[in-house]
Amino acid sequence: MTEDELIWRIAGGSGDGIASTSQNFAKALMRAGLHVFTHRHYPSRIRGGHTYTEVRVSADEVKSRGDGYNFLLALGDSFARNPQENAYYGNEEIKPLSENLDELHEGGVIIYDSGLLDPSEIENFDERVEENNWHVYDIDLRSMAREHGREVMRNTAGVGVTCALTGIELEWIEELMESAMPEKILEPNIEILNEAYDMIHEEYDVDAPDVKVPSGEHDEEQVLLSGSDAIAYGALDEGCRFIAGYPMTPWTEVFTIMSQNLPEVGGISEQVEDEIAAAALAIGASHAGAKAMSGSSGGGFALMGEPLGLAEMTETPVVLVEAMRAGPSTGMPTKPEQSDLEHVLYTSQGDSQRIVFAPGTAAEAYKQTRKAFEIAYEYQIPSIVLYDQKLGGELANVPASVFDEEPNPSLGSTLTEAELEDAPHSDTGKYKRFQHDVEDGVSPRSIPGQKGGRFLATGNEHTPEGHISESPENRVAQLNRRVQKTEAIRAELDTSSKDDSHQTYYGPEDADYGLITFGSQQGTVEEAVDVLNENGHSVKSLGVSDMMPFAEEEVAEFIESVDEALVVEMTASAQFRGLMQKELGLYGEKLSSLLKYNGNPFEPAEVVEGFEVNIIEDDELDHNRMKFVPSAGD
- Of residues 338 through 367, those in contact with another protein by CB under 8 A are none
Q: List, in sequence order, every residue forming a beta bridge with 547; answer none if it has no partner.
A: 550
| Subset of residues 495 to 514 that bind another protein, contact rule: CB under 8 A | none
Among 148, 454, 540, 596, binds another protein (CB under 8 A): 454
Q: By CB under 8 A, is residue 181 in contact with another protein?
A: no
Positions in 191-210 near another protein (CB under 8 A): none
Residues 78-117 that bind another protein (CB under 8 A): none
Minimal distance, residue 359 CB to another protein, in Å:
16
End-to-end CA distance of the chain: 20
Our CB check for another protein shows the closer of 11 and 258 to be 258
- The C-alpha atoms of residue 294 and residue 278 are separated, in whole angstroms, by 6
Cα distances from 500 to residues 95, 314, 410, 452, in angstroms, run 46, 31, 22, 40
Task: Kindly state the number of chain residues that form the binding site for another protein, as judged by CB under 8 A.
Answer: 81
DSSP 517-581: EEGGGHHHHHHHHHHHHHTT--EEEEEE-EEETB-HHHHHHHHHTSSEEEEEES-SS-HHHHHHH
Stretch that binds another protein, among 6-14, 206-214, 223-231, 248-256 (CB under 8 A): 223-231
**Applying CB under 8 A, does 447 fall inside the site for another protein?**
yes
CB of 377 to another protein, least distance (A): 10
Shortest distance (Å) from residue 392 CB to another protein? 15
Spatial neighbors of 565 by CB under 8 A, at least 6 apart, are 513, 514, 515, 516, 558, 559, 590, 591, 592
β-pair type (50-58, 104-113): unpaired
Return the residue of 128, 436, 467, 590 that touches another protein, per CB under 8 A.
467
Q: Of 166-174, 203-211, 296-304, 451-459, which part binds another protein (CB under 8 A)?
A: 451-459
Closer residue to another protein (CB): 31 or 41: 31
Nearest distance, CB of residue 459 and another protein, angstroms = 5
> Which residues, numbered 273-292, are part of the site for another protein (CB under 8 A)?
273-274, 276-278, 280-285, 287-292
The packing angle between helices 154-166 and 141-148, to 10°, is: 120
Interface with another protein in residues 370-409 (CB under 8 A)? 400, 403-407, 409
Residue 382 or 453 having the CB closest to another protein: 453
Helix axis angle, 227-237 to 252-261, nearest 10°: 50
225 binds another protein (CB under 8 A): yes
Q: How far apart are CA 343 and CA 327, in angstroms?
A: 11
81 to each of 47, 457, 597, how far by Cα in Å? 10, 55, 28
**Residue 477 near another protein by CB under 8 A:** no
Q: Which is nearer to another protein, 461 or 583 (CB)?
A: 461
Nearer to another protein, 395 or 515 (CB): 395
Q: Choose the stretch contacting another protein; rule: CB under 8 A; options: 129-137, 150-158, 424-432, 592-600.
A: 424-432
User: Exactly one of 74, 117, 224, 567 binds another protein (CB under 8 A); which one?
Assistant: 224
Looking at 137-145, 383-391, 455-463, 579-587, which segment touches another protein (CB under 8 A)? 455-463
Question: Looking at 67-75, 86-94, 231-239, 588-596, which segment touches another protein (CB under 8 A)?
Answer: 231-239
Member of 229, 315, 526, 564 binding another protein (CB under 8 A): 229
Contacts (CB under 8 A) with another protein, residues 28-47? 31
CB contact at 8 A, 601 and 524: yes
Q: What's the burial of 533, exposed, middle or buried (CB within 10 Å: 0-12/13-18/19+)?
A: middle
Instruction: Please give the angle made by the CA atoms of 271, 275 and 281, to the nearest 5 degrees.
Output: 65
Q: Cβ of residue 394: shortest distance to another protein, in angstroms?
A: 14
Tell the smallest beta-carbon distance from residue 427 to another protein (Å): 6
Measured CA to CA, the distance from residue 440 to residue 421 in angstroms comes to 22
Q: Which of residues 249-268 bind another protein (CB under 8 A)?
A: 261-268
For residue 96, is the peptide bond before it cis, meaning its omega torsion is within 30 degrees of 0? no
Q: Considering the complex, what minimum distance in angstroms separates the CB of residue 375 from another protein?
A: 17
Task: Count the alpha carbons within 13 Å of 570 in the hemisphere toward its beta carbon.
Answer: 28
Site map 294..323 versus another protein, x via CB under 8 A = ------------xx-xx---x---------
Cβ neighbors of 375 (< 8 A, separation 6 or more) are: 355, 381, 383, 489, 492
- Restricted to residues 140-179, the positions that interact with another protein (CB under 8 A) are none
| Cβ(108)–Cβ(142) below 8 Å | no
Q: What is the largest CA-CA distance in the chain?
A: 92
The per-residue DSSP string of 490-521 comes to: HHHH--SSTTTSSSEEES-TT-SEEEEEEGGG
Helix (H) or strand (E) holding 30: helix 18-31
At 184, is the secondary structure helix, strand, or coil?
A: helix
Cβ closer to another protein: 110 or 304? 304
Q: CB nearer to another protein: give 307 or 336.
A: 307
3-state secondary structure of 161: helix
Nearer to another protein, 87 or 468 (CB): 468
